[in-house]
């Protein structure tokens, strides 16, 4: 595998991005496709110890572990987004998404957008009001009212959906809200475009600056199953759970425009 610092990425072509060998396997050629657009490998030694490539060719970094890191979305924009890559692109009849975020926004914003060719809102976690989450499945929506916050702080949100009974559940900071029903019998289409911080009004695009997320986001996970209440509470305490399709501890992603990877700033006296 190759390690590279995403926060140092330059897209003007004037800098070179340095890669460090962290392990070697037969998957190098496949992993290379995750790193660089182009046909020529940037190293000559076999086995290579280090390499370089023009920074404007870098597609994204495959990090082994993003623990103690956060994506920082510093300003409202219709262009900045984090695009997640998932290898297992199959239809979904159940899922759970968990993430942690911190924002001062008083307006609506998108957290997690799962668009397909069938529906741009095949699955969407959207903060529609300061005290309301809108959860979309297959273009339909249910709304969860949450208690008003006394002061800004990190929130841990988990949302699950099960096609067999249509139940949607939202957990906020380890506490469950009453379940609601949505799209019983539905199947979320494969080959998704998965994005953080923007609402896709078309597949892979159609962003609106007035729906963009501004703040910090960390610990993003997606499972193709409904987590148990015990697992949800463990996740809210940053415990490691088995079998995620998207894992913060091994995340494949593209950063587009002004999003940065920085140290996670935990609140004082917090155990996260």
Do residues 91 and 190 make contact, with C-beta atoms less than 8 angstroms apart?
yes
46 falls in which pLDDT band (50, 70, 90)?
very low
* Contact criterion met (CB below 8 Å) for 136 and 114: no
Position 62 scores a pLDDT of: 53
Burial class (CB in 10 A: 0-12, 13-18, 19+), 71: buried
Please check whether residue 137 is in contact with residue 182, taking contact to mean a CB–CB distance below 8 angstroms.
yes
For residue 109, is pLDDT > 60?
Answer: yes
Query: Would you state the pLDDT for residue 88?
Result: 67
> Are 213 and 196 spatial neighbours (Cβ–Cβ below 8 Å)?
yes
For residue 250, the tally of other CB atoms under 10 A from its CB is: 12
Looking at residue 61, its pLDDT comes to 53
Q: What confidence category does residue 27 fall into, taking pLDDT thresholds of 50, 70 and 90?
A: very low
pLDDT given for residue 234 in this prediction? 94
CA distances from 128 to 91, 140, 210 (A): 27, 14, 11
**In the predicted model, what is the mean pLDDT of the chain?**
82
What gap in Å lies between CA 3 and CA 103, rounded to an integer?
29
Strand 94-102 and strand 180-181: the pairing is unpaired
Model pLDDT, residue 200: 98
Longest dimension (CA), the chain: 59
pLDDT at 240: 86
Residues β-bridged to residue 124: 113, 136
Contacts of 269 (CB under 8 A, 6+ apart): none
Tens digit of pLDDT for each residue in 70-106? 999 999 999 999 999 987 678 999 999 999 999 999 9
Looking at residue 25, its pLDDT comes to 36
**What pLDDT was estimated at residue 31?**
45
Least confident piece of the model among 60-69, 129-138, 231-240, 251-260: 60-69
Integer CA distances (angstroms), 178 to 112, 135, 150, 159, in order: 21, 14, 22, 12
Q: Spell out the long-range contacts of 262-271 with Cβ–Cβ below 8 A and sequence spacing 24 or more.
A: 262/7, 262/69, 262/70, 262/72, 262/216, 263/68, 263/69, 263/70, 264/68, 264/69, 264/70, 264/216, 264/218, 265/70, 265/216, 266/154, 267/153, 267/154, 270/154, 271/237
pLDDT of residue 92: 97
Task: Evaluate whether the domain defined by 69-263 bears CATH number 2.60.120.200.
Answer: yes
Q: Report the DSSP beta bridge partners of residue 73.
A: 215
pLDDT of 216 > 70? The answer is yes
Domain map (residue ranges) of the chain: 69-263
**234-259 mean pLDDT:** 93
């Amino acid at each position: 595998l190759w390690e590279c610092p995403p926060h140092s990425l330059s897209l003007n072509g004037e800098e070179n991005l340095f890669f460090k060998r962290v392990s070697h396997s037969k998957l190098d050629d496949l992993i290379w496709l995750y790193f660089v657009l182009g046909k020529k490998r940037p190293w000559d030694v076999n086995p290579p110890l280090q390499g370089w490539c023009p920074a404007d060719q870098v597609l994204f970094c495959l990090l082994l572990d993003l623990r103690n890191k956060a994506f920082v979305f510093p300003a409202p924009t219709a262009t900045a987004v984090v695009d997640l890559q998932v290898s297992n692109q199959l239809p979904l009849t159940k899922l759970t998404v968990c993430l942690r975020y911190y924002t001062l926004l008083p307006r609506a914003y998108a957290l997690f957008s799962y668009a397909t060719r069938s529906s741009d809102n095949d699955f969407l976690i959207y903060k529609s009001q300061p005290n309301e989450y809108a959860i979309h499945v297959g273009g339909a929506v249910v709304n969860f009212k949450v208690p008003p916050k006394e002061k800004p702080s990190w929130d841990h949100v988990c949302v699950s959906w099960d096609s067999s009974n249509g139940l949607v559940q939202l957990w906020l900071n380890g506490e469950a809200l009453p379940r609601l029903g949505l799209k019983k019998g539905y199947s979320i289409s494969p080959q998704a475009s998965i994005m953080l911080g923007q609402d896709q009004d078309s597949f892979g695009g159609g962003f609106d600056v007035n729906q963009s997320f501004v703040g910090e986001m960390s610990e993003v996970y997606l499972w193709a199953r409904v987590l148990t209440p015990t697992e949800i509470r463990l996740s809210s305490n940053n415990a490691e759970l088995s079998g995620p399709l998207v894992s913060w501890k091994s995340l494949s992603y593209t950063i587009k425009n002004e999003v940065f990877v920085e140290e996670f700033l935990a609140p004082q006296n917090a155990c996260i």
